[in-house]
Amino acid sequence: MAGRLIVISNRIPMEKTVSGGLVVALHDALGCAGGIWIGAHPETGVADEAVEELGSSPYRRLAFRLTEDEQANYYLGYANSVLWPLCHRRGDLVEMRSEYEAAYRAVNARVARIVARIAEPDDLIWVHDYHFLPLATELRRLGVSNRIGFFLHIPFPALGDLSVLSQPERFADDLAHYNLIGLQTRGDVARCLEMYRADPRAEFMPDGSIKFRDRVTAIRSFPIGIDTAGFAADASQETVNPFGREEPGRFIIGVDRLDYSKGLPNRFRGFARYLETRPDGARPCLVQIAPPTRQQVRAYQDITRELEEIAGHVNGAFAELNWTPVRYIHRAVPRVELARLYRKASACLVTSFADGMNLVAKEFVAAQDPGNPGVLLLSRFAGAAEDMTEALQINPYDIEDIAAAIGTALEMPLAERLRRHEACLDVVRKTDVAKWSTDFLRVLMTCGASANFRDFE
């Protein structure tokens, strides 16, 4: 690669404990490739074009500040109260306000000016996630003709759901300013192509790219992954014991940001239903680690309250003096402890109603003891389910199905656990984070000619 790699995402890591699929994956990818990572500082400030250097090893981190209004209207508002529910099939939670979209466009325009100032002609620019859909539009407007790639970490929305937006046609238009649109799954690519098929401005090229006005954009899936070997090594560190002296015996693990898309209430209900029907003497725990996220948004406050109530009900109904069925921890834990928890668990429950990929599923598989692996129960609506067909796939809307799958997992014979684990591990290895980023960058470096982006607008 001749130039540097410049990565832009809303969130950048500030400390060692990172949660959220995007930050974890990019931290691993940039750790290998080096480059510059530009993102929003967690503290607010003034709307200028200054950036703060946060650290320079093994990659540079530059942070801009959002104002309090931008944090409310761009991040909590347009990104997380419009685009997030829209892409996760929760149109009922979308909150439309004109100031949200105005702030979203203004932040994208300002970040584009910052990037345009930093970028040199040979640099590759890689933009991440729904916070920055229009960033390439703004960069092209400033005359930036570098190759610009975009990766969407969350599900691509269904065509019909886009009508929720005030100007749905801008979604296709903004994305067409990138040279490459990367999506998590083949299903996401199909939905993206459906959007362009329905758009009279788009033309299809023989290689599957789309031509939109005079610009050519490639659309491909790049399933995101983890640092498989690193995670497995952390999981094997026997000196780390996250439970101290409070080992729970057999347990099922859940690890998620406390987001309504993760199906946590149904997970707890499914576990409770299992407890009603479990074999005599079985006293497994559900260890749920769910750090708070986006707590200023009403829908997140509601899910937090709902989950606390359900956890209380389940423990109230089933707990004994020496057994707490649900251990619910409402904070982030260090990665090495997380890896150890996965390894000690008999099963992992992923119940997302919609999920771009779900890295937790991959982490759990990588962390297992290959001679005595636990069982992955995986929602068929998580992106990971497209390739991990040997996980025990579940319907997160169906409490009985979750309960039955928990029973199946906890009683699964070793031979079947081994077979399923080997198949899942093969997928995790073949789609690890290094492959994800090198594949994306290889395609970005070779797709189309960037000349068609010069002199635009």
For the beta carbon of residue 245, count every other beta carbon within 10 angstroms: 5
Sequential DSSP letters for 9-45: EEE---SS---SHHHHHHHHHHHHH--EEEEE-SS--
Tell me which of ligand F6P, ligand ADP, none is bound by residue 129, counting a contact when its beta carbon lies within the kind-specific cut-off of 5 to 8 angstroms. ligand F6P
- Binding residues for ligand F6P, rule: CB under 6 A, are 11, 20-23, 129, 153-154, 257, 293-294, 356
Q: One of 27, 88, 128, 153 is an active-site residue; which one?
A: 153
Measured from the CB of residue 113, what is the shortest distance to ligand F6P in angstroms?
Answer: 22
Among ligand ADP, ligand F6P, none, residue 24 binds (CB under 5-8 Å by kind): ligand ADP
Angle (CA) 300-302-303 rounded to 5° is 65
Distance CA 402, CA 395 (A): 7
User: What's the min distance (Å) between Cβ of 257 and ligand ADP?
Assistant: 4
Instruction: Return the number of the residue (176 or 287) whose C-beta is nearest ligand ADP.
Output: 287
131 has catalytic annotation: no
By a kind-dependent CB cut-off of 5 to 8 A, residue 333 interacts, out of ligand ADP, ligand F6P, none, with ligand ADP
Residues that bind ligand ADP (CB under 6 A): 19-21, 24, 255-257, 289, 291, 332-333, 338, 357-360, 363
Question: Distance of CA 48 to CAs 79, 114, 352, 361, 412, Å?
Answer: 21, 9, 38, 40, 58
Beta-bridged to residue 36, according to DSSP, are 6, 60
Q: Is 177 a catalytic residue?
A: no
Which does residue 192 bind out of ligand ADP, ligand F6P, none, counting CB within 5 to 8 angstroms by kind? Answer: none
Helices (H), 278-334: 298-318
By beta-carbon proximity to ligand ADP, the closer residue of 25 and 444 is: 25
Q: Roughly what angle, to the nearest 10 degrees, separates helices 433-446 and 21-33?
A: 70
Q: Give me the least distance between CB of 153 and ligand F6P, in Å please.
A: 4
289 binds, among ligand F6P, ligand ADP, none (CB under 5 to 8 A by kind): ligand ADP
Q: Given the residues 129, 199, 355, 432, select the one marked as catalytic.
A: 355
State which residue, 76 or 176, has the beta carbon closest to ligand ADP. 76
**Nearest approach, Cβ of 358 to ligand F6P (angstroms)?**
9
C-alpha to C-alpha distance for 73 and 102, rounded to whole angstroms: 8
- Minimum CB distance to ligand ADP smaller for 257 or for 420: 257
H, E, C per residue of 43-71? CCCCCCCCCEEEECCCCEEEEECCCHHHH
Which helix (H) or strand (E) segment holds residue 141: the answer is helix 135-141
Q: What is the C-alpha separation between 389 and 410, in angstroms, rounded? A: 19
Catalytic (active-site) positions = 153, 355
